[in-house]
Structures are given as structure tokens and as C-alpha cells.
């Protein structure tokens, strides 16, 4: 009976998880295709050093060390998890212990040591989030679900480790040949417990451990902790261009080139072609790698904590930008999934009753999530990308949104307009002619 129940739970768990992970994948693919360029070996190196090795985390040693305990414990606990799967499907008990002997004892002891470190780290992280009130954890965008999400996963980690030690310590009373150091310190707690109660305690630990794992698997797509999986592809596909380099807009480049060389020959645009779109107004205009970055964001707030605009009291928070992009993707994805036909654009309503990314129009866009005040506050210093432990660049999205706001919505502030006019007329942001500038240089060199 226990074997059948386990098999049924596994099937349901992976079926539900597949549906949700597919939903996340479809949301990421709402973005445009992206041309992935650059050295593949460098991308692989970034993935190994930054995603797997957590190189950038150690710019803040205390948090990095605590996170490392949880991360390494998570990786090595999968060894014990494999055994739980084998035991669950075969109705065996500690299947690998008979075949691995002393190696098995070493592995379980190593996992317990890591689990104890993870337990301590969990307490530290709960204190940092709820007692110490570290500034980057109490920003406005962290109110509500983001704060609860950060705590829920820590509570789950607390339970997970508790169930591991409950299972192992009770099992040591049932099987005296087992020799686990940390569980051995806890095992005397059950010394006067009856055999049937010991079996019950061990089974509670075993089932509690696997159920927490299954719940965690299905919870990830709803949580910032999806970065556990997405950090690897995001780091691989992260931009390799020099820091601070911005993508050019070909149509604007041609106009600027014609200002410097009126005789330059350019191809005549197709009069029937749609008008070019400048910048980004919604997730459909972003590349899929940008949406991948939004779903990968860990909400750690390191980007916001080093943002000069945020530090001076301005509304901009790079973390919020990534969270807003993800929330907008979720909103669109849900509407498409349930086929809200009222959002089919007018020009397509006569031809289809199926809502898709191509015909989607709910009269909203990213500017309903992100204000002009936030966009204009960015200095494009790239401090946020430098601080991000998994190479996310909020600046890329901010710049594209700002381009759309200025070039298509004409929402640039008046001081900026004066600068734009000066650049157009004088080739410089200052309100005097090139001749006057050259004269100034001559006088300075005289």
C-alpha cells in the first residue's frame, strides 16, 4: 500500500509541476528572438564560476557563506533523495547501505554536517529578514507576497532538515549498525521509545522529507527561488559585451550619419513596411533573454542597495523593474492560458477566437507597472549589474523603456529636450555653436 501511495504521489507531483513549468517557459517565450553571440567557452566559464561556483556572491562574505551552506546541502541531499525514491518504489529500506558500506556512512555523515550548516544558516537568514530589518529587505516592493515568499522557503528548509534528523536518529535506534555522528547525538532522545513508535517517528521523518521536496518542486514556479534552476541558463545567455555598452538603434544611426554626411547613400525604406518601433513598451518587445532574467531574479536586492538613485531617495529600484517585468509576463500568460477573448485585438477578432501573443491587446503595457519617475532616475551606471550575483542587467530594460517613452510618447522632461535640441543643432549638449567651442579651445591653448 505504501509503495502504491508513493508512486501515485510522484506521478501527481511531476504532472502538476510539468504544467506549471511549461507555463513559465511559454511566458519567457513571449519575448522576441534574440541573437546569441559571443564566445561559447566564456559563457560556459561564466556558468561554472558564477551560477555553480557563486563567485559574485562572495562580495558579501557573511551572506555568501550562509547561502553556500544551504546551496551545497541542497546539492548533496539529492544523493539521499535518490535513495528515498528507490526505497519508495521498491519498498526497500536504505537500499544503498548494503552495497556501499563505509562509503554510505561517510556520505550520510557528510550530508548531515551540511544539513546542520543549512539549519544554522536558515536561522540566520530568518533573523536577517525579520529581526535585523536589513534595508534591502524592507523596500516597498518587498511588502506582501515577496516578503512572505522569502520566509516560506526558509520555514520549509527548517522543516526539511528537521525531518532528516528525525528520520536518521530514529533509524539508529531501530538499526544499531548505523553510525551517523550528528543523528547519534539526537538518537538517545528515543531511547525509551517503543519499537512501534520508533517506526512511526522514522516514517514521519521519511514521508515529511519527501513531501517537503515534492511541495518545493511545485512551489518553485511561483517563487523567487526559481533562480535555483534558471540561474544556469540566465548566466550562460547573459550579455558578454563591455560593461555599460548600449545597443544601438539602426534607424537612429542612419539619421545621425546623414547629419554628419548629407551625401551618404542609404537604402530607401519600403513605403509599405510598418513604421519602426523605438524601444520597448511591453514584454512582447523585449527579448526572451530579458524575460528569462526577470524570472531568474532572486529579489536579493543587491542591485537596489548599490543603486545611486535609490540611495539618494529616488523611487527607482532595479529589483522592482525586474519584478514588474515578471508580473506583467505572468498577467499576459494567465490571460492567454484561459483564453480571455476580450483581449483579442480589434483587427483580429473577425478571424479568430483564440487569444495569442500575436493578437493580444488588453490596453495595458509595462508603463502601467513602471513609472516615468523610475525610468528617468536611472544614471545607467551599471552598478546594479555589477552587484547582481547572476549577471542580470536591469539597465538594458530601463534604457529600452526610456527610449520608447521619449521617442514615441514624447515624455522626456524639458531639461532633456533642451539638451536634445543642443545636440541636434550644435553636435554637443551645450547651447553654443561648434565655432564658439573651437574658439574656446584655441583660447585655452593660447
Instruction: Give pLDDT tens digits along the chain (446 positions).
Output: 788 999 999 999 999 999 999 999 999 999 999 888 888 999 999 999 999 999 999 988 888 998 998 988 888 888 888 889 998 998 888 888 888 888 989 999 999 999 999 999 999 999 999 999 899 999 999 999 999 999 999 999 999 999 999 999 999 999 988 889 999 999 999 988 999 999 999 999 999 999 999 999 999 999 999 999 999 999 999 989 888 888 888 888 877 777 677 666 666 767 777 778 899 999 999 999 999 999 999 999 999 999 999 999 999 999 999 999 999 999 999 999 999 999 999 888 888 999 999 999 999 999 999 999 999 999 999 999 999 999 999 999 999 999 999 999 988 888 888 888 888 787 778 777 767 777 777 778 87
pLDDT of res. 266: 66
Q: Measure the CA angle with vertex 196, ends 194 and 200; round to 5°.
A: 115
> Using the 8-state DSSP alphabet, how is residue 49 labeled?
I
In the chain, DSSP finds a helix count (H) and a strand count (E) of 19, 0
Cα–Cα distance for residue pair 245/262, rounded to 1 Å: 27
Q: Measure the CA angle with vertex 71, ends 70 and 77; round to 5°.
A: 85
Count of all residues that appear for the chain in the document: 446
pLDDT of res. 77: 84
Are the CB atoms for 112 and 163 separated by under 8 Å? Answer: no
How much is the pTM?
A: 0.90
pLDDT of res. 264: 66
Amino acid at each position: 500500500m505504501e509503495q502504491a501511495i508513493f508512486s501515485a504521489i510522484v506521478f501527481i507531483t511531476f504532472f502538476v509541476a510539468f504544467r506549471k513549468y511549461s507555463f513559465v517557459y511559454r511566458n519567457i517565450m513571449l519575448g522576441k528572438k534574440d541573437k546569441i553571440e559571443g564566445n561559447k567557452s566564456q559563457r560556459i566559464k561564466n556558468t561554472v564560476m558564477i551560477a555553480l561556483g557563486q563567485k559574485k556572491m562572495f562580495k558579501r562574505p557573511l551572506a555568501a557563506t550562509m547561502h553556500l551552506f544551504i546551496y551545497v546541502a541542497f546539492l548533496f541531499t539529492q544523493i539521499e533523495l535518490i535513495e528515498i525514491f528507490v526505497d519508495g518504489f521498491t519498498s526497500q529500506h536504505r537500499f544503498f547501505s548494503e552495497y556501499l558500506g563505509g562509503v554510505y556512512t561517510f556520505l550520510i555523515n557528510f550530508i548531515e554536517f551540511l544539513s546542520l550548516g543549512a539549519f544554522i544558516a536558515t536561522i540566520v537568514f530568518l533573523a536577517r529578514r525579520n529581526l535585523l530589518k536589513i534595508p534591502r529587505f524592507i523596500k516597498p516592493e518587498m511588502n506582501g507576497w515577496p516578503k512572505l515568499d522569502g520566509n516560506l522557503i526558509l520555514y520549509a528548509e527548517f522543516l526539511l532538515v528537521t525531518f532528516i534528523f528525525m528520520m536518521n536518529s530514529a533509524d539508529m535506534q531501530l538499526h544499531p549498525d548505523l553510525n551517523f555522528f550528528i543523528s547519534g547525538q539526537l538518537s538517545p532522545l528515543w531511547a525509551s521509545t517503543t519499537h512501534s513508535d520508533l517506526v512511526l517517528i522514522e516514517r514521519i521523518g521519511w514521508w515529511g522529507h519527501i513531501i517537503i521536496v515534492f511541495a518545493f518542486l511545485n512551489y518553485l514556479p511561483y517563487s523567487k527561488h526559481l533562480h535555483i534552476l534558471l540561474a544556469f541558463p540566465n548566466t550562460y545567455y547573459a550579455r558578454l559585451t563591455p560593461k555599460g555598452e548600449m545597443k544601438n538603434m539602426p534607424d537612429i544611426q542612419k539619421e545621425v550619419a546623414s547629419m554628419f554626411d548629407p551625401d551618404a547613400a542609404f537604402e530607401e525604406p519600403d513605403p509599405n513596411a510598418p513604421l519602426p518601433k523605438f524601444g520597448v513598451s511591453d514584454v512582447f518587445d523585449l527579448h526572451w533573454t530579458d524575460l528569462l532574467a526577470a524570472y531568474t531574479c532572486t529579489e536579493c536586492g543587491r542591485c537596489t542597495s548599490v543603486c545611486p538613485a535609490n540611495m539618494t531617495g529616488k523611487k527607482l529600484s532595479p529589483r522592482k523593474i525586474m519584478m514588474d517585468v515578471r508580473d506583467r509576463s505572468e498577467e499576459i500568460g494567465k490571460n492567454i492560458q484561459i483564453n480571455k477573448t476580450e483581449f483579442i485585438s480589434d483587427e483580429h477578432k473577425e478571424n479568430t477566437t483564440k487569444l495569442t501573443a500575436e493578437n493580444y491587446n488588453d490596453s495595458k503595457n509595462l508603463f502601467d507597472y513602471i513609472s516615468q519617475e523610475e525610468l528617468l532616475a536611472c544614471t545607467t551606471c551599471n552598478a546594479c549589474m555589477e552587484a547582481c550575483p547572476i549577471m542580470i542587467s536591469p539597465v538594458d530594460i530601463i534604457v529600452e523603456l526610456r527610449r520608447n517613452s521619449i521617442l514615441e510618447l514624447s515624455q522626456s522632461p524639458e531639461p532633456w529636450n533642451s539638451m536634445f535640441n543642443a545636440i541636434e543643432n550644435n553636435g554637443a549638449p551645450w547651447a553654443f555653436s561648434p565655432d564658439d567651442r573651437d574658439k574656446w579651445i584655441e583660447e585655452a591653448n593660447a
